[in-house]
Structure formats: C-alpha cells, structure tokens
C-alpha cells in the first residue's frame, strides 16, 4: 500500500504495538503483520482495537523466551511469579495476585485459540516456534468474554505448511550456564497434508545464591494439518511442557516492626539482593525474626524447594467454507499436574500439589449480509475441574488446604460490522455468559499462641518472660500434608498430651511445655455459585485515507466471582468499562508507521487477595474492596529511515489510581500504611481496623514508559551484519496496595544489544547478545509476608550469550 503524508491523526496518542524489530523489504517499506485477534485474519494496521503483536522472529531478537518476559515488548503488561505455579498478570494495573488456584485470572491467556482457565498457564508457557503473540488491552467482552477484564494474551504457534519440507535448529549458550536448544521440522505428506514437530529445551542456573530464579523447561509440540478439499481444513495439535528446577525466589528486604496500632517501620535486613532466602546468610537473618502469634524466633528453612509441573493438551480446529460463509469449530482438552515447594512470600515452605482439567468447545460462523454488514456469531462452552492439596508452613501457623472446584461456563456471542459508507463502519457486539461453580473443601489452621489462645492472648513483650522465644519451648511445624499427619506429629514429638474439642470446628491443644497453646480451626466450604452477565462492544471505524484510520470504542467486561477457603466463602464479580479512541497510520510510501491510542478505564468491585487476621485466624482473603480509574495515552512509531535502517519508538503515559480501596485487618497483620479507623474488636479484644487506601497509585502502573530502538543492516556480500539496540525507561511504580516502603520500584533504564551475522539466503545466522547492559537487578515483585517480613523478587542481571540458527 502507498499513501501520502497526512496530519489528521498524528496528534492522537498511543496505539497498537508492532514488534521491537521490523524487517525491511527491498523497497525500505515496513512489513505487514497479520493478526487474528478478532477471529479473522487481518493486517495489524486494519485491526481497530487496542492490540500489540510480536512476531516469533521479534520474540527471538528481543530475548523473550516465556510469558514473564513479554513486558519488554508490551509496556502495558506485567507478569510475575508468586511461588510455585502461581502467576500474577496485570495490564495497566488491572489483574490479580494470589497463591490460590481457584481464583480466576483477570487477564485471559489462550494457546492456539484455546482459553486457559488458570493463572498458572503463564508459568506453563514456553516460547518456541511461534507465529506470534498478541496482547489485547482492555476488556474483551464480546469475542473473548469470560474473565478478560484486563485483556487477553494469545500465544499462536507456527502452523504446518502444505507442500513444503523444511526445518530449523537453534543452539544458544550464555552466562549462568544458560543453554537452549530449539528445533522444528515441517514434513509434507502429499499435496494436502503436512506434519510439524517442534521442541525446546532450556536450562539456566538461578540468579540468586540459593539457586532460585532458575529455568529448567522442556517442551514439545506436534501438529497435523490436512485439507481434503478446497472447502475443508482440519488441524490437530498436541503440546507438552515440563517445568523443573528450584523455582522463583526472593530476598529478605527487611522486617516491619510495630510503632503502634497500624504503624510499622521497615528495619532493613542488610542482605545482598542476590542472597535469596535459603542460604546460610539468609537463614541466619531469618533466625533473628519473631513469628506471630507464637512470638518465637523463626527457624532456618527446612525443605529443599523445587518445581515439578507438567502441562499438556490436545486441540483440534476444523474450518469449513460454505457458499454462504465460514464455519469454524475449535475443541480442546487440557490438563496440568503441579507439585512444588517454595518460600515466597516468606513461608518456611509452601507446598502445592494441584491437578487441573479443562475441556472446551467453540463454534463460530462468519459471513456477510451483502454489502451491508460482515458478522461473526458463535457459542462457547468450557468445563473445569480443579483439585488442590496445599500447605503454607509459617512455623507457628500451619494452614492445610484441600479442595476441589468444578465450574462450567456457557456463552453465546455475536459481532456485526455495519458498512455505513465505503470509509465508515459501525461495530456492534454482545455476549451472554452463564457461569456455574461448585466447591467442596476445607482449610485446617494449626495456630500456636504464646500463653493462652484468645481471649487470653499475651502481648509480644510478655512472650520473653514466658520463655516462648527460647528454642525448644514451642513447636516449629514441619511442612505436613494432612490433619492426621499434624495431629500425629504433635503427639509423637511430645508437644501435645491432650486434644480438647470445643465444637465441630475448633480444637484446643495445650502444649506440654506450658508456655503456649495450639488452636486447630477447621473452616469448610460446600456450596454452589451461579451468575450470568451480559457484556457488549460499540465502535466506529473511519478510513481517513488509504493508509490512515480512526476508531472509537466502548467495551464492557467482567471477571466471575467465586469461592474461597475462608470465613467469607464467596466474593462477587468485578467489572471494567473501557473507552478508547485510536488511530493507525502509514506515511511516506509505507515507510513510517504512527499509531496512537487514548484510553479511559473504569474498574469496579475489584477483586483483591490479601492476608488478614480475623479472630486469631490468619486468612488469605479475596474480597471486592476496590474501584479504580485508569487513563492515558499510548504512542508507537516505526520508521524505515533507509533501506538498511529502522527506528522504533514507543511511549505510554498512564494515570491509574484507586478511587475507593478499603482493607480490614487486625494486629499482627495490620502493617498497611494507609489511614485507619478502629471499627470493632476480635473475640479477645484485639481492635479491628479499616484502612482507607483510596487515592493510591494502582499496582504495576508506571506513569511514563519510554522505549527507543534502532536496527542497522550492513550488507557484506553474501552475508548481512545486523546491529540492534533497544533501550527502555520505566517510571516509578508500586507493586503492592499498602504504601509500604519496600513496595516501590524506582525508575530504571534497561538496554539490550545484539549483533547478528546472517546469510542473505536466510540459511544460517549467528547472534551475539547482551541483555540489561546496565547490569542492575530491578525489582519485579514484592510480598508483604504474613509474618511481617518484606520480600523482594528481582529480575535478571546482565545476561549475554551466543545463538546459532540453521534453516533447511
């Protein structure tokens, strides 16, 4: 396409993303990227939605090997690991962070067109032999619907190619003993059938001294594509990923000490950021901290941490071209089996064993009504089964959690694009979703008190006089699995001489040492949940010129409510309404791309998970405690300055704050740095407080993010030398809701450099790269431990290596 320079849309800000490096055609024009985010193949420049797309080649050039690294290419996105397979996904401050598998993610992730219901899907993603990754920003209330409040991430593998036998192999090595081998082959079986196999093996030592924050991933994918006729296409795929190693890690930043009710000060640990939690230095620090409510000193880490998670699935896509339109059927079955022990957020060990199953089917029909409208209508059904057996060993508190949750979701949807004129379109879309869930489960809390349990709970200063802080006077729980194991351990180790039932849910266990008492509190859930929602989209699209477009949209989305193993067993849905004005442009004979997006999001009944203390029982509670407003502008520009030179620039301005945010808690879990008022008292007289955090910045919402890159190609005859330099500056941001000192990430800059020698035939290439040339480990996430510790997870330091790629 060609166009003349236009100025009508260059004043708009923020838009859709193109890859960090853009290939230059012989005429110095920018390449087109085809996306399928709207359930149809279209140019990225023609998709009138807030979307960023990164090609498989762009991912490799940027050193992005999994979902956690996608924020390098998508400024609005943050993904981090909270321990084991738990992941937190955020887009512009909208998301969720939790250690519970039964909490639905707020950002929908899909693989090959199949929605994956659990947030652990991010940890099971391995980027190899991909066609592209698409990131949709904002609620997807029509074509995606369920649980896509903040947006959606589509991971799309490279598909079999008919009539072609080809392949590739990539070998990479670098510091931290990083090795990665990728290979794939496409095999033609006649003219209308092809197979494609691809595999990936990546191993890397941990960035922390205790071996945590490592990588040990093996993945395999197989696909069969057959087109028995011009009208029928059938593609069947299988994928498997195994995640091993030690897992995500953190370092003790310090400990919050009480300065009075609702007032805590951070006492820094003095540990190096590389220390991790399970080294001699870190364990020595751990033993200086008191654990509540026993008020005995903590012990060194007991267990060897590990990750042993498997993710696999089968999916089929059938497309049939009718005379009147196109019928598409996508069916899939996915399963994960997870077993991991970890320390984040300050546990001696968390222990997850979890099994997830899901089956889904989606049918779509797309057609047109003459020249009046194009449309897509369809139906979607998914059923999930989750079984979990989790332990959160906090030494003087031992929660044992066992549950099963079954859920079903059924939706009908449609989207119509009305052609009002040759250059003007109206888009109307709607989706009706019905969610049903059932949960059966229990959480058994073993809580060691110094002295008597509530209402006779002693204060921390008294614990020293009673001898609670003396080694051997209080039991330090091992990482156990069941109630029977816990009862037997207390009896066998001589801690308990009697188990005194108070009622069906509470048992008092006096300690034989006489310095403390254990409460065993059982909370059970056996309930069902049903909810239906109607979401919709309205948009206008205007072709200002041949290569310039303006669009405006209003879209609604929601995330389902559900269950939890807590005193408050249910929580309600959350909602997000998004207004968007955008512009997409190509100028100067297709050599300059300038895209922009203005957005305004209204976020209501936000689901937030946090630790709180109620009547002496520590709970990880999910509640509808917040509403927020996010507004800003995205700008993305790519300029093929010359045949061999490409510049790219992107910027995001984001103003995201909580309009209404309240938390309830009680000592010793009241370290929330927001104005508080006393609202009542627990059964032992401990005051309960309401913390008003309204006006705080939304989490993972830097006010300004800037990116600048250049790619230079130098032809040396039969080979090209390609130099790529990308730098990114990210403004201050917060990682938690409570204004705690360690939750703030200071502004930082990250710069990546690569040099590639590539055969002009495309048969081979050799790349040397350096990522994070500043060699500074930045804060990725923080935890305010239920035991008062401040925990920080840091990103990678300087990494460098060499990559060899061969195509055949």
pLDDT of 84: 63
Q: Which residues pair with 310 in a beta bridge?
A: 242, 337
User: Residue 12's pLDDT band (boundaries 50, 70, 90)?
Assistant: very low
| HEC profile of 570-632 | EECCEEEEEEEEEEEEEECCCCEEEEEEEEEEEEEEEEEEEEEEECCEEEEEEEEEEEEEEEE
The SS3 of residue 283 is helix
Tens digit of each residue's pLDDT (9 = 90 or more) over 277-296? 999 999 999 999 988 888 89
Nearest CA among 635, 531, 559 for reference residue 150? 559
| Cα angle, residue 453 at apex, residues 451 and 457 outer, rounded to 5° | 65
Determine the Cα–Cα distance for residues 396 and 450; give it in Å rounded to an integer.
Answer: 10
Residue found by looking up tokens 């209003």 in the block: 554
Q: What distance in Å separates the CA atoms of residue 801 and residue 183, rounded to the nearest whole number?
A: 18
User: What is the pTM for the complete model shown?
Assistant: 0.90
Give the per-residue pLDDT at 24.
37
* pLDDT classification of 573: cutoffs 50, 70, 90: very high
Q: Percentage of the chain surpassing pLDDT 90?
A: 71
Task: Please answer whether residues 222 and 237 qualify as being in contact, where contact means their C-beta atoms are separated by less than 8 angstroms.
Answer: yes
Confidence grade of residue 222 (pLDDT, cut at 50, 70, 90): very high
Helix H or strand E encompassing 466: helix 460-466
Q: Where are the beta strands (DSSP E) in 207-301?
A: 215-226, 232-243, 251-258, 264-268, 290-291, 296-297
What average pLDDT does range 132-138 have in this prediction? 93
3-state helix vs strand vs coil in the chain, percent to 5: 5, 60, 35
Residues 648-663 as b/e (b if ≥16 CB within 10 A, e otherwise) read: bebbbbbebbbeebeb
pLDDT at 754 over 50: yes
Task: Say how far apart CA 167 and CA 196 lie, in whole Å.
Answer: 9
Average pLDDT, stretch 316-339? Answer: 96
pLDDT at residue 684 above 80? no
Element (H, E) at 483: helix 483-492
Can you say how many angstroms the Cα of residue 467 is from the centroid of all Cα atoms in its chain?
44
Task: Look at residue 21 and tell me whether its pLDDT is greater than 90.
Answer: no
Please check the confidence at residue 444 and state whether its pLDDT lies above 90.
yes
What pLDDT shows up at residue 74?
87
Residue 679: HSE in the Cβ half-sphere, 13 Å Cα cutoff: 14
């Amino acid at each position: 396409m060609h166009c003349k320079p236009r100025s009508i849309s260059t004043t708009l800000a923020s838009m859709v993303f193109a890859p960090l490096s853009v290939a230059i055609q012989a005429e110095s024009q920018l390449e087109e990227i085809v996306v399928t985010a709207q359930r149809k193949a279209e140019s990225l420049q023609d998709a009138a939605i807030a979307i960023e797309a990164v090609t498989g080649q762009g991912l490799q050039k940027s050193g992005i090997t999994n979902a956690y690294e996608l924020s390098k290419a998508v400024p609005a996105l943050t993904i981090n690991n909270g321990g084991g397979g738990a992941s937190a996904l955020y887009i512009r401050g909208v998301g969720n962070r939790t250690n519970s598998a039964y909490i639905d993610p707020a950002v929908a992730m899909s693989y090959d067109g199949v929605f994956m219901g659990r947030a652990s899907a991010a940890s099971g993603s391995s980027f190899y032999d991909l066609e592209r990754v698409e990131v949709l920003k904002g609620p997807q209330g029509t074509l995606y619907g369920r649980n896509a409040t903040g947006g959606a991430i589509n991971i799309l593998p490279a598909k079999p190619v008919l009539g072609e036998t080809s392949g590739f192999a990539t070998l990479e090595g670098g510091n931290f003993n990083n090795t990665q081998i990728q290979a794939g082959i496409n095999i033609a079986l006649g003219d209308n059938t092809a197979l494609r196999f691809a595999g990936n093996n990546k191993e890397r030592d941990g960035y922390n001294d205790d071996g945590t924050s490592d990588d040990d991933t093996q993945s395999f994918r197989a696909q069969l594509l057959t087109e028995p006729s011009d009208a029928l296409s059938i593609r069947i795929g299988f994928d498997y990923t195994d995640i091993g190693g030690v897992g995500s890690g953190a370092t003790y930043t310090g400990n919050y000490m009480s300065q009075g009710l609702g007032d805590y000060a951070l006492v820094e640990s003095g540990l190096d950021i590389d220390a991790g939690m399970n080294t001699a230095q870190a364990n020595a620090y751990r033993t200086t901290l008191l654990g509540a409510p026993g008020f005995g000193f903590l012990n060194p880490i007991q267990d060897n941490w590990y990750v042993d998670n498997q993710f696999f699935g089968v999916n089929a896509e059938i497309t049939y071209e009718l005379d009147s339109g196109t019928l598409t059927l996508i069916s899939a079955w996915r399963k994960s089996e997870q077993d991991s022990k970890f320390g984040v957020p300050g546990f001696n060990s968390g222990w997850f064993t979890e099994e997830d199953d899901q089956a889904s089917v989606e049918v779509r029909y797309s057609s047109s009504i003459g020249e009046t409208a194009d449309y897509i209508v369809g139906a979607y059904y998914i059923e999930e089964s989750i079984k979990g057996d989790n332990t959160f060993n906090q030494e003087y508190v031992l929660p044992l959690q066992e549950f099963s949750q079954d859920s079903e979701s059924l939706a009908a949807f449609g989207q119509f694009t009305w052609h009002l004129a040759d250059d003007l379109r109206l888009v109307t879309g709607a989706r009706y979703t019905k969610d049903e869930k059932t949960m059966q489960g229990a959480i058994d809390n073993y809580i060691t008190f110094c002295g008597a349990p509530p209402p006779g709970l002693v204060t921390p200063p008294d614990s020293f006089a009673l001898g609670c802080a003396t080694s051997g006077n209080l039991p330090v729980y091992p990482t156990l699995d069941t109630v029977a194991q816990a009862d037997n351990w207390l009896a066998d180790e001589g801690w308990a001489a009697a188990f005194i039932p108070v009622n069906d849910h509470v048992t008092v266990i006096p300690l034989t040492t006489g310095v403390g008492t254990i409460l065993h509190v059982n909370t059970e859930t056996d309930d069902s949940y049903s909810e239906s929602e109607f979401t919709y989209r309205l948009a206008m699209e205007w072709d200002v010129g041949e290569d310039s477009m303006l669009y405006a949209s209003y879209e609604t989305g929601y995330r389902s409510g559900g269950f939890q193993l807590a005193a408050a067993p249910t929580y309600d849905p959350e909602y997000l309404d998004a207004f968007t004005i955008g512009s997409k442009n190509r100028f100067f004979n297709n050599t300059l791309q300038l895209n922009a997006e203005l957005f305004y999001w209204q976020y209501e009944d936000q689901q937030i998970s946090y630790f709180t203390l109620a009547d002496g029982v520590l709970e990880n509670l999910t509640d509808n405690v917040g509403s927020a407003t996010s507004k800003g502008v995205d700008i993305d520009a790519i300029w093929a300055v010359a045949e061999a030179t490409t510049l790219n620039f992107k910027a995001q301005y984001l103003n995201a704050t909580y309009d209404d945010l309240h938390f309830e808690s009680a000592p010793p879990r009241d370290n929330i740095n927001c104005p508080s008022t006393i609202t009542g008292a627990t059964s032992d007289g401990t005051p309960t407080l309401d913390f008003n955090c309204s006006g705080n910045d939304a989490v993972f919402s830097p006010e300004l993010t800037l990116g600048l890159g250049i790619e230079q190609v130098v032809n040396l005859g039969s080979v090209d030398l390609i130099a790529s330099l990308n730098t990114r500056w990210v403004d201050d941001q917060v990682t938690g809701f409570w204004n705690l000192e360690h939750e703030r990430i200071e502004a930082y800059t990250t710069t990546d450099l690569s040099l590639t020698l590539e055969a002009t035939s495309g048969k081979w290439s050799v790349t040397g790269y350096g990522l994070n040339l500043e060699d500074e480990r930045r804060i990725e996430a923080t935890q305010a431990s239920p035991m008062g510790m401040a925990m920080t997870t840091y990103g990678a330091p300087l990494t460098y290596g060499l990559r060899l790629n061969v195509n055949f």
